[in-house]
């Protein structure tokens, strides 16, 4: 049940973000609908992968080209997310602009 709610919330957010391209005249309504569908499918692919924290990633799709942003827990997680999205039918390309979380200390002393 929680997965369904997550997917619904993520899909709604993706539709809102993608809508800006229609308003700006960058995409036709059909292209927008296709991109919104791809974004929802790509996000669903991340949600279904138990080794990827889907909520850590943001997706933006324009004309079938998906850009992933956010902070991955590891380089492996970022690569898995990219691979999951590449498997989605209709995705033309994937630009992985994620950052990997730092595991170093903040430098503060504990005296």
Q: Is residue 105 part of a domain?
A: no
pTM above 0.75, yes or no: no
- Please tell me the total count of domains within the chain: 1
Q: What is the pLDDT of residue 86?
A: 96
Count of CB atoms situated within 10 Å of the CB of 110: 4
Q: Is residue 110 part of a domain?
A: no
Of 80 and 30, the one with more pLDDT: 80
Q: Is residue 108 part of a domain?
A: no
- Mean predicted confidence (pLDDT) in 67-76: 96
pLDDT over 70 at 106, yes or no: no
pLDDT in tens, 76-94: 999 999 999 999 999 999 9
Q: Is residue 68 part of a domain?
A: yes
Look up the domain containing 17 and give its range: 2-100
Q: What is the pLDDT of residue 76?
A: 96
Q: Is residue 111 part of a domain?
A: no
Q: Are 32 and 39 in contact (CB under 8 A)?
A: no
């Amino acid at each position: 049940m929680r997965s369904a709610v997550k997917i619904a919330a993520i899909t709604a957010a993706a539709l809102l973000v993608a809508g800006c391209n229609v308003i700006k005249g960058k995409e036709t309504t059909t292209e927008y609908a296709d991109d919104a569908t791809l974004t929802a499918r790509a996000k669903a692919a991340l949600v279904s992968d138990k080794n990827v924290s889907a909520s850590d990633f943001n997706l933006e799709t324009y004309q079938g080209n998906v850009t992933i942003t956010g902070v991955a827990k590891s380089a492996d997680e970022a690569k898995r997310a990219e691979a999951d999205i590449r498997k989605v039918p209709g995705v033309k390309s994937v630009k992985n602009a994620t950052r990997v979380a730092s595991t170093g200390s903040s430098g503060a002393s504990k005296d």
